[in-house]
């Protein structure tokens, strides 16, 4: 059995590779990298690395030779070739090369989501479904690491600011999303068509209180309007293009796009999620 992991040099992929090595032999693992430079560190670990780019269909066909099961980590948007086109290449290449199972890292709620962030994922889920390749969609909620700037700033004594109001998010550590993915990939966990991977939904105010406990630090917690939050971000040196993205996410959260109640995460892990305070302590150490 050959297992291929895309995004193997990214943060999620690095965690996934570690868990995969714990469960199966190194001769069964294949990692995908875009460049020889990125591949070098993986090869030092004795990993079979294949060079391919989601934008290059021919490279994907070659990389997928002999692969049985694929962990398809979604690409980052904003490249010269759209993420939708990149993902179409991956799915079509997987179909052509006879890959027997795909796990895809998707977005909460799937086609029910109205978030702009969900649209490429909705398209990719459709492509995979239409390929008739057996699959599991991992609808990953929100990584604690996504809040790094806010969390670190607050611990350093700056105000903990946000504009998402009482919107709730299912935070968890990135490594936990990776472990759940690997468990499904290897068959250690069940592989239904959809897994909504979400921690217990909590507000930013609750996250801030958990951070105070985890860090032992005191800081102001400020719920803002979008307009005030925009001004704060710009005053803190955040580029306006990034500010727009942050406000879009805050709006999604306020509108419940990341409010998901599910026990799928614990089922895939085979154990409870790390409690939020302990997860924040771990995050702050890294």
For the stretch 164-216, pLDDT in tens is 999 999 999 999 999 999 999 999 999 999 999 999 999 999 999 999 999 99
Average pLDDT for residues 120-137, to the nearest whole number? 98
Degrees (nearest 5) of the Cα angle 199, 70, 188? 55
Q: Say yes or no to pLDDT of 237 above 80.
A: yes
Strand, coil or helix: what is 181?
helix
The set of residues, in sequence order, having a beta carbon less than 8 Å from that of 215 and lying 6+ positions away, is: 154, 155, 280, 281, 284
Q: What is the pTM of this model?
A: 0.96
CATH of 141-171+198-260+274-286, one of 3.30.2290.10, 3.90.25.10, 3.40.50.300, 3.40.50.1820: 3.90.25.10
Q: For a pLDDT cut of 90, what percent of the chain falls above it?
A: 90
Report how far residue 169's alpha carbon sits from residue 143's, in angstroms, rounded to the nearest whole number: 10
- DSSP state for residue 81 in the 8-state scheme: S
Q: Do domains 3-140 and 141-171+198-260+274-286 have the same CATH topology?
A: no
Q: Are 66 and 2 in contact (CB under 8 A)?
A: yes
Residue 78 has pLDDT above 70, yes or no: no
Please report, for the chain, the start and end positions of each structural domain, with discontinuous segments joined by +: 3-140, 141-171+198-260+274-286
Residues 6+ apart with CB under 8 A from 254: 163, 164, 165, 166, 167
pLDDT, average across residues 24-33: 93
What is the fold of 3-140? Rossmann fold (3.40.50)
What is the structure's pLDDT at 98? 97
| Rounded average pLDDT over 42-57 | 92
Q: What are the structure tokens assigned to 212, written together?
A: 């105070």
pLDDT of residue 37: 86
């Amino acid at each position: 059995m050959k297992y291929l992991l895309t995004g193997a040099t990214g943060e999620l992929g690095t965690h996934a590779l570690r868990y995969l090595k714990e469960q199966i032999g190194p001769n069964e693992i294949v990692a995908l990298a875009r460049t020889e430079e990125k591949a070098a560190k993986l090869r030092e670990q004795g990993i079979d690395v294949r060079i391919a780019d989601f934008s290059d269909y021919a490279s994907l066909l070659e990389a997928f030779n002999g692969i049985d099961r694929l962990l398809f980590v979604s690409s980052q948007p904003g490249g010269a070739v759209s993420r939708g086109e990149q993902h179409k290449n991956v799915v079509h290449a997987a179909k052509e090369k006879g890959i027997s199972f795909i796990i895809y890292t998707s977005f909460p709620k799937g086609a029910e989501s109205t978030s702009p962030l969900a649209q490429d994922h909705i398209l990719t889920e459709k492509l995979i479904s239409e390929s008739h390749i057996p699959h599991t969609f991992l609808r990953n909620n929100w990584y604690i690491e996504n809040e790094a700037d806010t969390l670190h700033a607050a611990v350093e004594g700056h105000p903990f600011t946000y504009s998402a109001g009482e919107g709730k998010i299912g935070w968890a550590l990135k490594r936990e999303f990776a472990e759940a993915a690997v468990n499904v990939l290897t068959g250690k966990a069940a592989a239904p068509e959809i897994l909504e991977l979400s921690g217990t939904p909590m507000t930013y105010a609750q996250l801030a209180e958990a951070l105070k406990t985890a860090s032992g630090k005191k800081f102001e917690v400020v719920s803002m309007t979008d307009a005030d939050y925009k001004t704060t971000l710009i005053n803190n040196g955040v580029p306006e293009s990034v500010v727009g993205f942050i406000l879009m996410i805050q709006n999604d959260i306020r509108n419940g796009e990341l409010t998901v109640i599910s026990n799928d995460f614990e089922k895939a892990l085979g154990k409870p999620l790390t409690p939020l305070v302990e997860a924040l302590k771990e995050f702050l150490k890294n």
